[in-house]
Amino acid sequence: MEDNEKEQLFTRRLFEHYEKDGRKLLPKAVYFRTIEEVKAAFQKTTKSRHEYHLLGKFEVLRCGDIERLVQKRTDTAEEFILYYATLEETYDIVKRAHVATGHGGRDRMEKELHKKYDNIHATR
């Protein structure tokens, strides 16, 4: 099986999982809509419960012209930033972690993924 076929199969199964339980991994459209909702909620003076939830869970990190959704930090000087990845990016991220661990297996990949991403888990 070629890499492209593996990626398509992986992504298709992730979308099937998302249809059943769409809590962790977000498709790009939902990801970018969430970024816009967080930015809008940050600007408002009166917020809904949903907006308070978003602001308590997420931050928008801007690097140049790219905006990324990150886990809310208690201190902005925190060294570690945990990113949220889109569903479409997940295959490449997991593949890089697999190679970075020297093809070391699920547990080593899980540890590597938790260093940078909040919503990617190798055990699912």
Average pLDDT, the chain: 89
- Name which residue leads in pLDDT, 84 or 24: 84
Q: What is the mean pLDDT of residues 23-37?
A: 92
- Say what the pLDDT of residue 17 is: 85
**Angle at which helices 49-57 and 28-43 cross, to 10°:** 110
- Say what the pLDDT of residue 86 is: 93
How does residue 122 score in pLDDT terms, banded at 50, 70 and 90?
low
Owner of token pair 């959704």: 69
CB 121 within 8 A of CB 106: no
In the predicted structure, residue 28 carries a pLDDT above the cut 80: yes
pTM comes to 0.85
How does residue 123 score in pLDDT terms, banded at 50, 70 and 90?
low
Is residue 68 classed as helix, strand or coil in its secondary structure? strand
pLDDT digits (tens, 9 = 90+) for 55-87: 999 999 999 999 999 999 888 776 789 999 999
What value, to the nearest 5°, has the Cα angle with vertex 74 and ends 32 and 24? 40
- Say what the pLDDT of residue 27 is: 92
Percent of the chain exceeding pLDDT 70 equals 97
C-alpha torsion 92→95→100→105, nearest 10: 150
Owner of token pair 């886990």: 71
